[in-house]
Amino acid sequence: MEIREYTEDDRDTVVRMRNLAFASTGEPPEKLLTPGTFGLLAHEGGQALGSLLINDFAQHFGGRAVPMGGVGGVVVDPHARGKGVASAMVDTALRRMRDQGQALSVLYPTVPALYRGRGWERAGVLERMTFPMDRLLMSPKATHRLATRRATKADLPDVHAAYLALASTVDGLLDRHEPTFQPEKLLDLDVATVVHDADGVLRGYLTADRLKEGLKVHDLVGADLDAQLTLLAELTSWAGVLDKVDLRVLDPAFTGLLTSQAVRFDMSTNQWLLRVVDLPAAVAARGWPNAAGLKGGAVDLDVVDAHAPWHAGRHRLVVDDGEVWLEPGGSGAVVLQARALGPWFTGVQSTHALRRAGLLTGDAPLLDQLVAAPGTPRLADFF
């Protein structure tokens, strides 16, 4: 079996396997590869065995965007299943992501056992909440309702800046950098509203699509209370036409503090798994706001990772004067399995939980102090 990068010449083969695996219907993509992506194709004896795609992303943790490879479209042709094709492709993808400087990797698992066996673990959620219109109508009103209008091409830099201002404060959200993300696509959406003050300064935006089953909201981002409530009022303007709105949750504070959620509500959740591809690089790239309040210290780690041998072994995690870094050496007093790295790095699990799950041995309160933060990491983009 050989694994290589696929090209546009492989389009029909890859699309056929994806359609078969995911029961896809509709028009095939115009291009197999888009800017900021690359794909792998496994083949043998002239026959395609499977493929996967990696997106060039960066994901916020501690206020800084960490380079991340978003893995998607992992498929194996039916005749090749059970022969280690997916495992071989994922192992190759790990090496490629490391070579490209992607210190983390995230995926939405259809077969969790495969990815857990390669070091990925649950780290966060992508959530959508369904709001009945009567509940939206009960929401508070803006004290000073701001002006709104349809977004234009000239607004795109300010729209992205507004998104980044929010995303940098919510662990897990992507930075949506170009060329992987193409800002002008926002203008193709059914709803692309910007809210601005009397001086024309953009204070937030709303994007959504009108589907047969209702309004599907992608982003609702406001810099302050009046901006958020002004955009919320636009959603309530659909009363009489729609009986519910499907809202993607970027900022849980908005849905939790500014809307009239019922005691029981409908929520759809996609779990995503994260893997640390290169631990020293990930530690160097992450923001560590809690380190400023620590007097310093170190933890001696022994990382057990058969599929990423470049960072396996003994390291010292050092905290000094608000800075955090990883250096070789130490006693290896705290043993971390590969699957423990993601949940610790994101802050979604404490060392106590990892110890109970058999993924960590030893005592390391400093690890918990570094990543302690409210909320569950979340993504707002599916791939």
Q: With pLDDT > 90 as the criterion, what percentage of the chain qualifies?
A: 88
pLDDT tens-digit series, residues 254-288: 888 888 888 888 999 999 999 999 999 999 999 99
Full-model pTM: 0.93
Is the pLDDT at 173 greater than 80? The verdict is yes
pLDDT tens-digit series, residues 325-369: 999 999 999 999 999 999 999 999 999 999 999 999 999 999 999
Domain with CATH 3.40.630.30 in the chain: 2-107, 127-271
What is the average pLDDT across 310-322?
96
Topology, domain 2-107: Aminopeptidase (3.40.630)
Is the pLDDT at 141 greater than 90? The verdict is no
Is the pLDDT at 293 greater than 90? The verdict is no
pLDDT tens-digit series, residues 117-140: 999 999 999 999 999 999 889 888
**Contact, 287 vs 64, CB < 8 A?**
yes
What are the E-state strand segments in the chain? 2-5, 37-44, 47-61, 64-76, 104-107, 121-132, 147-150, 191-196, 202-211, 214-222, 244-248, 266-276, 297-304, 313-320, 323-328, 334-337, 360-361
What is the average pLDDT across 309-332?
97
Is the pLDDT at 166 greater than 90? The verdict is yes
Domain with CATH 3.30.1050.10 in the chain: 278-371
CATH code for the domain defined by 127-271: 3.40.630.30
Residue 264 is predicted with a pLDDT of 85
The C-alpha atoms of residue 20 and residue 72 are separated, in whole angstroms, by 15
Residue 41 is predicted with a pLDDT of 98
| CATH class (in words) of the domain with range 278-371 | alpha beta
The C-alpha atoms of residue 191 and residue 235 are separated, in whole angstroms, by 10
